[in-house]
Amino acid sequence: MPTAPDALRFTPPLDALKLTGIRKTFGGTTILSGFSLDVPEGQRLALIGGSGSGKTTVLRLIAGLERPDAGEIELFGRQLPYRRFAGRLIPDDPPEARELRRPVGMVFQHFNLFQHLTALENVIEAPIHVLGQSPAEARRAAMALLDSVGLADLADRYPRQLSGGQQQRVAIVRALALKPRVLLFDEVTASLDPEKVAEVLAVMRALAADERVTMIIVTHEMGFAREVADRVVFMQRGVIVEDTPAAAFFAAPQDPRSRAFLNLAS
Amino acid sequence: MMFQLDYAGELLPILLEASLVTLGATLGGMALALVLGLALALLRRSPHAVLRRPASMFVEFVRSTPLLIQIFFIYYVLPLYGVRIPTVACGIVALGLHYATYTAEVYRAGIEAVPRGQWEAGRALSLPAYRIWRHIVLPQALPPVVPALGNYLIAMFKETPLLAVIGVHELLGTALQEASQTYRYYEPLTLVGLIFLAFSLIAALILRRVEVRLADRS
Amino acid sequence: METLFTTVIALVPRLLDGAVTTVAITLLTAPVAALLALIAGLARLSHVKAVAAAAVVYVELFRGTSLLVQLFFMFYVLPLIGIELSPWTTGVATLALNFGSYGSEIVRGALLAVPRGQIEAALVLHMPPSQVLRRVLLPQALPAMLPPFGNQLVELVKATSLLSLITISDLAFVGNALAQTTGRVTMVYVLLLLIYFAIAYTLTLAVRALERRYGTGATVAGAR
């Protein structure tokens, strides 16, 4: 089927992501029940709330690291299939789910760089073995990305030879190397030394300037959320308490629970 | 060839009786392995090289040679030098010696896991070495290694059929004897396998219980 | 007059013949056992429940019964139900199945010990499970498997002696025969123990060298 070039094609505003009626329990504890959320393409969504509010679970469901007990997840209008029991070692979803999730990238709180690979090898692993790029091509792109976050010199170091902030920047680059259209950030600065937080936030700030990428940011950095996000979803015990434009949220939170949270956080 | 249930039914009481010999040899061997293993572990931590070296060499040597040959050695060679003990005792000694080298390693791991500070505190109170071992180090070193010792108990149990080679009438020996009379191997050997499987599964369940109990305590 | 020296000279070459057989059995069995261990270890973690269950049955069956009983069962019972194997095939197959069942626990333990985050990182990079296994899990789990597999290799050398009981003329078989025919009981058994020790200890040293080279799970290759 012939398609028009992107610039000429009329594209109605499309939800990058749509969660409907999600229920998720862990060993009898209900984390989410009937959770729904629409995220338009290009939005910078800050997902905030105390620990146990379910915000990380939302990210992990989108990324395919958890399976919902009920409900649907749609990515760019396509519903994601999943298996109920997916194996004890490597969760295994149908291949079409993996295909549909291609546009999604995720960065973790604990970086999770591959310990047996260097920084560069971490970044080129998926472009070569998932996208099928040539090693030379992947290497060139990876070096450019590493350079853009100031880590070209450290490309040949192993993760344990890097500081937390450096590891997290490599992890972001590793996600970017697959050119994601949706990026999930799970408390990416929470396990960093305070003086390393800024270098990671700077990288994310630069990313946020690219309007095409949808970002969902789970964070405790209220200052950063205020600066980068254009929408805030505040969660408590698996329920959305407040869902407003970021500016409104930080200026005057409506719900007493969000007010209490903001007071504590700042 | 069909599995004959009648014959199996005749065999079962005989084999269950023989399993008492198997269990007896296991318990006897384990008792020896527990005591001797602790002695070896302590000797290997001795400050005197005269004690430490031979203990280490003994452990390395016995661990690296087959139990089967050790059984033959004790059964055939020792009597030549005037050591005459009953056949079953030969088997128990062989099992005990062999597994003592394994329990010694287990004890060692337990002892090494006791923090240095415990030793230093004992010395600061100027307790004699014996009292430090007896009242401070061992009471902390032993409980955590009980599951590992239990695993060797099960392993030893599964090696008792080797005693059949010197004529101990434990499970396998009895089964082979029965088979040689009827020329039917199918039923006796299958039953022996099933009995071992049953005992092992029961032992594993008990061991898991003990592990949970120990984990709860700490 | 026969001296100690001439006795040793007379015995050693025949024992060494047996030793060659022992080493051959070990080297033949070890790779098969390792392969079985890998397959069974992975199968136990499969998302196909029947596969996982089959692996559990195999592992529990061979771990729960005794090696010598298994050997005799295969040797005496299989021909009765129409499966004719040579003693060598019977011996090597039984040893491999037995050690494969123990090894599968090593494989499983090492795979499960790789931090969860490594798997998750691979998944969010959209790797299919086979690739996660091959490129992320196994490279990190293999170093941790080396020391326990080394111990298993020494246990295997010792266990090959049981094959003497199903007519294979390995070191133990030759030794027992010589002890009976020559009457040099003490000498033969001492030599037997020494030769077994030499074989096992050589393997121990080889495995230790390998460990030093490829590191243990804690210090993965390349990191200082």
Any idea where the domains of chain A sit in the sequence? Answer: 15-53+64-229+236-265
pLDDT of residue C218: 41
pLDDT of residue C42: 93
Q: How far is CA A45 from CA A42, A115, A232, A244, B182, in A?
A: 9, 31, 6, 10, 81
Give the one of A98, A112, A130 whose C-beta lies nearest to C117's C-beta. A112
The domains of chain B are located at 5-217
3-state secondary structure B22-51: HHHHHHHHHHHHHHHHHHHHHHHCCCCHHH
Residues A205-245 pLDDT 10s: 888 888 789 999 999 888 889 988 999 999 999 999 999 99
The size of the A-C interface in CB pairs under 8 A is 95
Position A87 confidence tier, pLDDT thresholds 50, 70, 90: low
Give the one of C61, C72, C159 whose C-beta lies nearest to B197's C-beta. C61
Give the one of B69, B176, B204 whose C-beta lies nearest to C196's C-beta. B69
Instruction: Kindly determine whether residue C124 and residue A63, on different chains, have CB atoms separated by under 8 Å.
Output: yes
Instruction: Kindly determine whether residue C222 and residue A158, on different chains, have CB atoms separated by under 8 Å.
Output: yes
A9 at C interface, C-beta within 8 A: no
pLDDT of residue A90: 82
Instruction: Kindly determine whether residue C127 and residue A130, on different chains, have CB atoms separated by under 8 Å.
Output: yes
Query: From B76, which residue of chain C is nearest by alpha-carbon distance?
Result: C185
DSSP state of C170: S
- Would strands A78-79 and A70-75 be described as parallel, antiparallel, or unpaired? antiparallel
CA-based angle B4:B9:B13, to the nearest 5? Answer: 145
Query: From C186, which residue of chain B is nearest by alpha-carbon distance?
Result: B77
pLDDT of residue A28: 84
Instruction: Kindly determine whether residue C117 and residue A98, on different chains, have CB atoms separated by under 8 Å.
Output: no
Instruction: Kindly determine whether residue C131 and residue A110, on different chains, have CB atoms separated by under 8 Å.
Output: no
| CATH of span A15-53+64-229+236-265 | 3.40.50.300
Q: How far apart are CA A105 and CA A17, in angstroms?
A: 13
Structure tokens at C217: 């799970």
The whole-angstrom distance between C119's CA and the closest CA on chain A is 7
Q: In what order do the strands lie in the sheet with A104-107?
A: A104-107, A182-186, A214-218, A44-48, A231-236, A239-245
Instruction: Kindly determine whether residue B189 and residue C72, on different chains, have CB atoms separated by under 8 Å.
Output: yes
The whole-angstrom distance between A251's CA and the closest CA on chain C is 35
User: What is the residue-wise DSSP string for C121-160?
Assistant: HHHHTT--HHHIIIIIIHHHHHHHHHHHHHHHHHHHHHHG
Among B98, B106, B189, which would you mutate to test the C interface (most chain C Cβ atoms within 10 Å of its Cβ)?
A: B189
pLDDT of residue C222: 36
Question: What parts of chain C have a pLDDT lower than 50?
Answer: 217-224
Instruction: Kindly determine whether residue C65 and residue B176, on different chains, have CB atoms separated by under 8 Å.
Output: no
Among C68, C97, C167, which would you mutate to test the B interface (most chain B Cβ atoms within 10 Å of its Cβ)?
A: C68
The whole-angstrom distance between C29's CA and the closest CA on chain A is 28
Contacts of C66 in chain B (CB under 8 A): 158-161, 172, 196
The whole-angstrom distance between A248's CA and the closest CA on chain C is 33
- Its CATH architecture, for the domain C4-214, is Orthogonal Bundle (1.10)
Burial (CB count within 10 angstroms: exposed 0-12, middle 13-18, buried 19+), residue C41: buried
Residues A100-120 pLDDT 10s: 999 999 999 999 999 999 999
Give the neighbours of chain A: at least 3 Cβ pairs within 8 Å. C
The domains of chain C are located at 4-214
Asked if the model's pLDDT at residue A5 lies above 70, the reply is no
pLDDT of residue C217: 41
Q: How far apart are CA C93 and CA B21, in angstroms?
A: 30
Position A58 confidence tier, pLDDT thresholds 50, 70, 90: very high
Contacts of A67 in chain C (CB under 8 A): none
Instruction: Kindly determine whether residue A116 and residue C139, on different chains, have CB atoms separated by under 8 Å.
Output: yes
Q: Which amino acid is at A197?
A: V
pLDDT of residue A52: 83
Instruction: Kindly determine whether residue A178 and residue C126, on different chains, have CB atoms separated by under 8 Å.
Output: yes
Among B3, B7, B56, B68, which would you mutate to test the C interface (most chain C Cβ atoms within 10 Å of its Cβ)?
A: B68
Query: In whole numbers, what is the pLDDT of chain A averaged over residues?
Result: 89
Structure tokens at C196: 């077994």
Asked if the model's pLDDT at residue A126 lies above 90, the reply is yes
Digits of tens for pLDDT over chain B (218 positions)?
677 888 888 889 999 999 999 999 999 999 999 999 999 999 999 889 999 999 999 999 999 999 999 999 999 999 999 888 999 999 999 999 999 999 999 999 999 999 989 888 988 888 888 888 888 899 999 988 998 999 999 999 999 999 999 999 899 999 999 888 888 888 899 999 999 999 988 988 998 888 888 877 76
pLDDT of residue C54: 96
pLDDT of residue B216: 78
| CATH of span B5-217 | 1.10.3720.10
